[in-house]
Amino acid sequence: MREYPSTMTPEEARAFRDDVLNIVGQIPRGRVTTYGLIATLAGWPSHARMVGRTLRYTPGAELLPCHRVVNKEGRTAPGWNWQRTLLEEEGVRFKENGHVDMSSHLWEPD
DNA sequence: TGCTTGACAGAAG
DNA sequence: CCTTCTGCCAAGC
């Protein structure tokens, strides 16, 4: 079992960002994945918040299907209501409480 | 340097 | 269900 350092070197930060963008780019239409899952797959399990930060502040991220990233409870990003519309257009179902039905739309990369 | 802020997660009330 | 708190870390100030 690998030991994960709590902080990233600049090189690791670069690799992390690239992994995040790669993974997000692979999310299929009509499916969603979570911040924590992406962070874990990128090799930094405790950096879920960094995934959100990366998608929000990395130039070019808008070109990726970043609207397909929600939190673990299926909640959409605060202050970005359009995200729900985009997902619904792809056929993603929302529950009564306004959360994505994760049990039927969660996607996990290989 | 020290405190505050998040596109998070999990637990508590 | 919703809000709030704690743990988490990089960024901003």
The closest alpha carbon to A50, from A81, A42, A105, belongs to: A42
Cα–Cα dist A27/A106, whole Å: 10
The ranges of chain A with pLDDT < 50 are 1-2
Gap from A105 CA to C11 C1', in Å? 33
Q: In this predicted model, what pLDDT tens digit does every residue of A12-40 receive, in sequence order?
A: 999 999 999 999 999 999 999 999 999 99
Gap from A109 CA to C8 C1', in Å? 24
**Helices marked H in A27-100 — which ranges?**
35-41, 48-57, 82-89
User: What pLDDT does residue A79 have?
Assistant: 86
Residue at token pair 């924590």: A36
Give chain A's domains with CATH numbers: 10-105 (1.10.10.10)
Q: What is the pTM of this model?
A: 0.91
Positive or negative, the CA dihedral A85, A86, A88, A92 is negative
Q: Which two tokens stand for residue A84?
A: 């729900």
Gap from A96 CA to C2 C1', in Å? 14
